[in-house]
Amino acid sequence: QVQLQESGPGLMKPSGTLSLTCAVSGGSISSSNWWSWVRQPPGKGLEWIGEIYHSGSSTYNPSLKSRVTISVDKSENHFSLKLTSVTAADTAVYYCARLSPADYMAFDIWGQGTMVTVSS
């Protein structure tokens, strides 16, 4: 059974670059699925950040596109998120999730989430 696990710093200073990694276990990142990042500010709803295929093809939310890079490492079976120039508005729980074409591109598997706080 595929599982996802996020890792990264819990606290960051404004203007820095957020880097998170999502480890994929129990399956291959080279399967016919897309891999995505979703975030949730405290007490608020869900926001899609972007997605990537194992080929490296990626799509980003236009609201974040200028600051976001998602990459995939097939040898390590993980994918990563980089978000530059962070501010307090980027404080959120960050989830990695699998998008399943078999489920009409629904997020069928989620990581447990990692809280990132941006504060000076």
Partner 1 sequence: EIVLTQSPGTLSLSPGERATLSCRASQSFSSNYLAWYLQKPGQAPRLLIYGASSRATGIPDRFSGSGSGTDFTLTISRLEPEDFAVYYCQQYGSSPVTFGQGTKVEIK
Which positions touch partner 1 (CB under 8 A)? 36, 45-48, 51, 59, 61-63, 95, 97, 99-100, 103-108, 110-113
Q: Given the structure tokens 């596109």, which residue do they identify? A: 65
Q: Could you give the CA distance from residue 24 to residue 74 in angstroms, rounded to a whole number? A: 10
CB of 74 or CB of 108, closer to partner 1: 108
Whole-number minimum distance, CB 56 to partner 1, in Å? 18
Whole-number minimum distance, CB 85 to partner 1, in Å? 20
Whole-number minimum distance, CB 101 to partner 1, in Å? 10
CB of 16 or CB of 59, closer to partner 1: 59
Whole-number minimum distance, CB 88 to partner 1, in Å? 21
Q: Could you give the CA distance from residue 117 to residue 120 in angstroms, rounded to a whole number? A: 10
Report the candidate in 55, 13, 53 with the shortest Cα–Cα distance to residue 36.
Answer: 53
Q: What are phi and psi of 32, to 5 degrees?
A: -85, 55
Report the candidate in 89, 119, 93 with the shortest Cα–Cα distance to residue 14.
Answer: 119
CB of 58 or CB of 80, closer to partner 1: 58
Report the candidate in 45, 57, 30 with the shortest Cα–Cα distance to residue 95.
Answer: 45
CB of 14 or CB of 56, closer to partner 1: 56
